[in-house]
Amino acid sequence: MLKKLFQSFRFPLRRLPHPRRTPEILSSRQHSLHRNDLSRHAVSVVERLQHAGYEAYVVGGCVRDLLLDLEPKDYDVATSATPEQVRAEFRNARVIGRRFKLVHVHFGREIIEVATFRANHPEEDDDEANHLASRNESGRILRDNIYGTLEDDAQRRDFTINALYYDPSSERILDHTHGVHDIRNRLIRLIGDPEQRYQEDPVRMLRAVRFAAKLNFEIEKHSAEPIADLAELLNDVPSARLFDEIIKLFLSGKAERTFELLLEYDLFAPLFPASADALEDNPEYAGTLIRNALINTDLRIAQGKPVTPAFLFAALLWPALPARVAEVQSRGLPPIPAMQEAAHDLIWEQCQRTAIPKRFTMPMREIWDMQERLPRRQGRRADQLLENPRFRAGYDFLLLRESAGEKTDGLGEWWTDYQEANESERRNMIRGLSNKDDGSGAPRKRRRSNRRKRGPNESAPASAD
């Protein structure tokens, strides 16, 4: 208690001095952004904080996207007010987070996220800072609630293109890091020393790839150089956070480009180790299947159609599955149980890296399971499969496998025709399979005879004259 008492009289946290930089100020005539382009709720939050005596700006990705004529998905505000002070100004606000303390101001379905200006972490251990900020042994930031000035906040942001501050009252942009220059040159540039910044938060490597793919930018060479060597730091990132980042990576409408960049910078293997091994063993098949799945995902997003992470993860992991199924079958299990056991093990391993929720892993297993059931079409099986709620996803996945060059003896075409056929045509298609196996490779079952088994001394009945 005495230690805490003495600490309360100490000076504010020590920070390493850094040369102050006067921001470049762009007037409304030097950029294309106008306050009417912004969410009116974001503007009202900024102006209300300014009227209360605080500094406040619209900041980050929304400013970047508007300068690129893109529609922002959300709006962020940075302010000199602490979270508690922001909360006091808005009855419709609540403080969230521990690692990064933020305020969400609610306007119906729209949420304006308000963050207090933050400063960089002190380089040396300081007991006074332990409850405000901390790092692990590799340098990754575990907690970040050290508040600072506008300039501090700009210097601690990740990329220059995300460090632009827009004041809707004066319609000026404050640019501390030459972010507008990098937007014009279509560059993703990390603020500060790249190696140190990636060590602070390895997810920044994934964010660099995501922004490069989304905006069709290039990663600036100094920012790109350490990525491959530091990719293994992603192994220390919590699996739940990596799942969220993967969803952002592959469901932003630029999944194929994202995949190519992940491969280029050796970031795919830390995210999907089993799939990376399969891609190395059979690059043509695995690469084609994954790319075709991602192209289809991008197309559906562009068309405004729904996409499900279950199908996406099923495609990303499938190249690693057949070899495991074959291994389990070699121990004597039939195809469907072997598929189920191999799928369980593969998904469990992947969830150690990316915490896929059960609401997605269950449909994944059903899609894979359907690949063993679709060849079994004899009798009423075909109609029963059509009624299965996972049939469409399983059928689409079958076509995806065929598009990658997998041989299925025309199974995809058969199911396409069967769905379009009338009842009598379907019966003929089923009868057309009667001279073949049931599609599974297993021999047809012998029909049980209703006649009584004769004893060894009984002879066959005489035929009638």
* List 76, 153, 175, 298, catalytic entry: 76
- Higher pLDDT: 366 or 436? It is 366
Least confident of 166-170, 378-382, 433-437: 433-437
Average pLDDT over residues 249-257: 96
- Higher pLDDT: 225 or 435? It is 225
Quick count: other Cβ atoms within 10 Å of Cβ 332? 7
Average pLDDT over residues 440-446: 45
pLDDT of residue 427: 93
- Higher pLDDT: 433 or 203? It is 203
Confidence of residue 445 (pLDDT cuts 50, 70, 90): very low
pLDDT of residue 337: 93
* List 144, 158, 167, 182, catalytic entry: 158
Active site residue 127: no
Angle at which helices 411-420 and 391-403 pack, to 10 degrees? Answer: 140
At residue 4, does pLDDT exceed 50?
no
Active site residue 167: no
Average pLDDT over residues 459-464: 38
Question: Could you report the per-residue pLDDT of 364-418, keeping only the tens digit for each?
Answer: 999 999 999 999 998 899 999 999 999 999 999 999 999 999 999 999 999 999 9
pLDDT of residue 128: 47
At residue 450, does pLDDT exceed 70?
no
- Higher pLDDT: 115 or 456? It is 115
Confidence of residue 453 (pLDDT cuts 50, 70, 90): very low
Least confident of 298-302, 310-314, 366-370, 445-449: 445-449
* List 74, 229, 281, 437, catalytic entry: 74
At residue 136, does pLDDT exceed 70?
no
Q: Please state the pTM of the whole predicted model.
A: 0.82
Three-state SS annotation for the chain = CHHHHHHCCCCCCCCCCCCCCCCEEECCCCCCCCHHHCCHHHHHHHHHHHHCCCCEEEECHHHHHHHCCCCCCCEEEEECCCHHHHHHHCCCEEEECCCCCEEEEEECCEEEEEEECECCCCCCCCHHHCCCEEECCCCCEEEECCECCHHHHHHHCCEHHHCEEEECCCCEEEECCCHHHHHHCCEECECCCHHHHHHHCCHHHHHHHHHHHHHCCEECHHHHCCHHHHHHHHHHCCHHHHHHHHHHHHCCCCHHHHHHHHHHCCCHHHHCHHHHHHHHHCHHHHHHHHHHHHHHHHHHHHCCCCCCHHHHHHHHHHHHHHHHHHHHHCCCCCHHHHHHHHHHHHHHHHHHHCCCCHHHHHHHHHHHHHHHHCCCCCCCHHHHHHHCCCHHHHHHHHHHHHHCCCCCCCHHHHHHHHHHCCHHHHHHHHHCCCCCCCCCCCCCCCCCCCCCCCCCCCCCCCCCC
Q: What percent of the chain has pLDDT over 70?
A: 83
Exposed/middle/buried for residue 121 (C-beta within 10 Å: 0-12, 13-18, 19+): buried
Average pLDDT over residues 226-248: 96
pLDDT of residue 436: 59
At residue 22, does pLDDT exceed 90?
no
Active site residue 158: yes
Least confident of 43-57, 222-236, 279-293, 438-452: 438-452
Confidence of residue 14 (pLDDT cuts 50, 70, 90): very low
Quick count: other Cβ atoms within 10 Å of Cβ 270? 21
- Higher pLDDT: 451 or 12? It is 451
Average pLDDT over residues 232-241: 96
pLDDT of residue 123: 53
